[in-house]
């Protein structure tokens, strides 16, 4: 599943942890994710803050808190588009900032969206 911003939700550690059936393993995964969030993004995060998530385009209530606050998700959802490649303003300043803030993932996300846009 490709998120609005071009990231792949099914490879996100939070998405993967949501699908883990072993409770102890899921607990350990969430602890590791919380540590990574603190280390990489400087955000205070506890394992219990890492909630279930079915991907940013989900219709369910299971959505990670960071995704709930995502401006890209909000914008694309309000426009009713599949992802940002379908937007007439692509790439906007918000998306460019997202790519810059997460250089490694952002590069791959941009490439995905560019490929989609080229096929439209």
Report residue 60's pLDDT band, with 50, 70 and 90 as the boundaries: confident
* pLDDT tens-digit series, residues 74-105: 999 999 999 999 999 999 999 999 999 888 88
pLDDT given at position 102: 84
Using the structure block, give the residue that is written with the tokens 């490439």. 111
Measured CA angle at 22 (ends 17, 27), to 5 deg: 55
Q: What is the DSSP string of 45-95?
A: --GGGS-----TT-SSS---HHHHT-HHHHHHHHHT-SSGGG-TT-S-HHH
Average pLDDT for residues 52-71, to the nearest whole number?
Answer: 88
Q: Quick check: 29 pLDDT over 90?
A: yes
First CA to last CA across the chain, in angstroms?
A: 18
- Nearest C-alpha neighbor of 14 from the set 60, 54, 73, 69: 54
Domain spans of the chain?
A: 9-119
């Amino acid at each position: 599943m490709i998120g609005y911003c071009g990231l792949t939700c099914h490879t996100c550690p939070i998405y993967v942890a949501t699908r883990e059936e072993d409770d102890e393993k899921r607990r350990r995964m969430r602890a590791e994710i919380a540590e990574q969030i603190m280390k990489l993004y400087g955000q205070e995060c506890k394992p219990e803050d890492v909630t279930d998530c079915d991907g940013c385009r989900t219709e369910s209530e299971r959505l990670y808190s960071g995704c709930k606050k995502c401006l890209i998700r909000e914008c694309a959802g309000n426009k009713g588009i599949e992802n940002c490649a379908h937007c007439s303003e692509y790439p906007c300043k918000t998306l460019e900032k997202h790519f810059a803030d997460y250089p490694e993932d952002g590069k791959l996300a941009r490439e995905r969206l560019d490929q989609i846009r080229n096929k439209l």
